[in-house]
Amino acid sequence: MRYVLAGLWNDYDQVFSPNASGGGSKRGPLFGALSLENAGVNLLPRLAETQVQLRTLTGQSSYLMSLGRLEAAGEVRQSIAPLGIEYGVTRRVSLRVLVPYAESRDVTQLLLNRVGSGANVGLNPTYQSGSAGADNARVVNNLNQARSELSAEITRCGNAMATGCDAIRANPAEAQALVTRTQTVGSAVTAVYGTAANSGSRFIPISGSGAQTSVAQTIGTLRTDFARYGITSIPEQSAPAAATTVLGPGGIPLLASDSSYGVGYQRLGNTRRAGVGDIDLTASVLLYDTFGADQVKRLTTATRGVRSQLTGGWRFGTAGADRTEDAFDVPIGEGANAVLLRSTTDLVWSRTMWLSATIRAAKPLGDRIAVVLPYRTTADFLSAPVTVDDAARSLGMRTDIELAPRFSFGDFFGVSGAYIMRRWGEDKYDAENLNSSVPLMSEMTVPSRTMQAAAVGVTFSTLASYARRRSRFAAEVMYTHTVPISASGGVVPAVVSDRLELRVYTGFPRR
């Protein structure tokens, strides 16, 4: 019987992501795609129409809305305590159950407009004050009144007998263009700033900004143009109510959680999850052993040899579902049932030196899970309203290849190194549902990913000494440190792992 108690700590604050120009992956901060010098339409695509309208109102074709600089940083920490029991049915056959208790934390820091002066748009006061909407309505009504008066004059002056029409008859096309331009400006003011009946955009130019000044100048120019036709419906210094409040460092969680901003997450990172992860039940068969399945001979003789073991089993997807309402949730496992297969071969050169080659494969079975629609990446997590639906999930094959040379010094201590190649097959999600209210982007494919890593380890073992009857207990303590080297394919977390494992044996053979 062998009892295993371990601690596994996985941490990462960086990811490998494909180069924009192609040809491999680059390593960067976890939320590097969210760090923006000017957060605007690139963060909230729903502001695109507002930006177009503001370009009309300001006369600036390159105007960009900005909520300020967005500083993004994040770290994921995962702690796993696997508890395993392995029972030797015979010298060549064993059964094992492994139950992990896992805890995951994500530390998310999204700071918007830290200094408070980097934004050119702020909160629209019509959402908090009815007077702002009334003021804007007066501006729009004045524009509409001037437009109506000029339209009536253009119609009247179409009669050759009408008098007082010199200005219109001098350039009728210009007069008609003014009517059209005023209608465009009035519609834009309504869409951006809102009125008592229409709240407008959530974000508008702040008071005293260049954009707000340009909007006032646009309306002032209309007033001057109408005055040439004797129309004075637009008063001096007429302008819609500007924003007086900007979003600060805590603005992103507000944007993400408030459904009125068009998103609707319940949480935004900085969460903790804990519980039982995916449980493995496996059976191992020693296929070939030049030591004759004799542990004492393997540990106490200097004979070269080969050992090969095959393991098969089942993974119970008990880890639970992803929290769809949290954009940065870190699950404690994949939560999918899977077929497991592992092959390990030891090439023994001497009692103190050997090489272990291991291939691990896991094929998850298809299932259905809750997902957020439309699908989105970290960079566009605020791109659309959150709608939760269920989807068919088909995870690709998970494969590990590990080559590990090992050296022992005396009866107790050893060191090891390892090269690890890990591959995740293509994952597919299909949320096609005829009854769904979100038909867009019902399918998503996550491309296959590959990561290469290196590991070093140290071991304290009493097995050789116990086999010689020099120790009272048969046990091993192992520590392994693993670091990522490179990755390719899609986005791959650059996980740094530390593993501390205790193995205690009962019934271990002795001389």
Q: Per-residue pLDDT averaged across 52-72, rounded?
A: 95
Q: Per-residue pLDDT averaged across 244-268, rounded?
A: 82
Summarised one tens digit per residue, pLDDT across range 82-92 is: 999 999 999 89
Rounded CA-CA distance 431/511 in Å is: 62
The answer on pLDDT for 441 being more than 60 is: no
Is beta strand 427-430 parallel, antiparallel or unpaired with respect to 413-424? unpaired
Summarised one tens digit per residue, pLDDT across range 328-380 is: 888 999 999 999 999 999 999 988 899 999 999 999 999 998 888 777 777 77
What is the CATH T-level fold of the domain 2-30+67-116+254-505, as seen in this structure?
Porin (2.40.160)
Rounded CA-CA distance 219/240 in Å is: 10
Of the pLDDT bands very low, low, confident and very high (cuts 50, 70, 90), residue 239 is very high
Summarised one tens digit per residue, pLDDT across range 389-398 is: 888 999 999 9
CA 438 to chain centre: 21
Rounded CA-CA distance 18/33 in Å is: 12
Q: Which of 10-14, 339-343, 486-490 has the lowest mean pLDDT?
A: 486-490
Tell me what pLDDT residue 350 has: 85
Q: How far from 306 is each of 122, 358, 361, 372, CA to CA, in Å? A: 71, 14, 22, 50
Global pTM exceeds 0.85: no
Of the pLDDT bands very low, low, confident and very high (cuts 50, 70, 90), residue 438 is very low
Q: Is 128 helix (H, G, I), strand (E, B) or coil?
A: coil
Instruction: From 14, 113, 76, 39, select the one nearest 326 (Cα to Cα).
Output: 76
Task: Please answer whether residues 505 and 465 qualify as being in contact, where contact means their C-beta atoms are separated by less than 8 angstroms.
Answer: no
Tell me what pLDDT residue 433 has: 59
Instruction: Specify the domain boundaries for CATH 2.40.160.40 within the chain.
Output: 2-30+67-116+254-505
Tell me what pLDDT residue 254 has: 84
Retrieve residue 22's tokens.
């192609």
Residue partners of 69: CB distance under 8 A and separation at least 6 = 36, 37, 38, 39, 112, 113, 114, 118
Instruction: From 408, 297, 286, select the one nearest 345 (Cα to Cα).
Output: 286
Q: Please indicate whether residue 389 or residue 80 has the higher confidence score (pLDDT).
A: 80
Task: Please answer whether residues 204 and 128 qualify as being in contact, where contact means their C-beta atoms are separated by less than 8 angstroms.
Answer: no
Q: Please indicate whether residue 84 or residue 267 has the higher confidence score (pLDDT).
A: 84
The answer on pLDDT for 210 being more than 60 is: yes
The answer on pLDDT for 434 being more than 60 is: no
Q: Which of 3-7, 163-167, 281-285 has the lowest mean pLDDT?
A: 163-167
Secondary structure percentages of the chain, helix, strand, coil, to 5: 25, 40, 35
Residue partners of 21: CB distance under 8 A and separation at least 6 = none
What SS3 string covers 154-212?
Answer: HHHCCCCCCCCCHHHHHCHHHHHHHHHHHHHHHHHHHHHHCCCCCCCCCEEEECCCHHH
The answer on pLDDT for 149 being more than 50 is: yes
Task: Please answer whether residues 269 and 106 qualify as being in contact, where contact means their C-beta atoms are separated by less than 8 angstroms.
Answer: yes
Of the pLDDT bands very low, low, confident and very high (cuts 50, 70, 90), residue 201 is very high
Residue written as token pair 């999600």 = 429
Q: Per-residue pLDDT averaged across 292-316, rounded?
A: 87
Q: Per-residue pLDDT averaged across 262-290, rounded?
A: 89
Tell me what pLDDT residue 262 has: 64
Q: Please indicate whether residue 507 or residue 475 has the higher confidence score (pLDDT).
A: 475
Residue written as token pair 């601690």 = 7
The answer on pLDDT for 440 being more than 70 is: no
Tell me what pLDDT residue 376 has: 79
The answer on pLDDT for 131 being more than 80 is: yes
What is the pLDDT of the chain when averaged over all its residues?
90
Tell me what pLDDT residue 208 has: 93
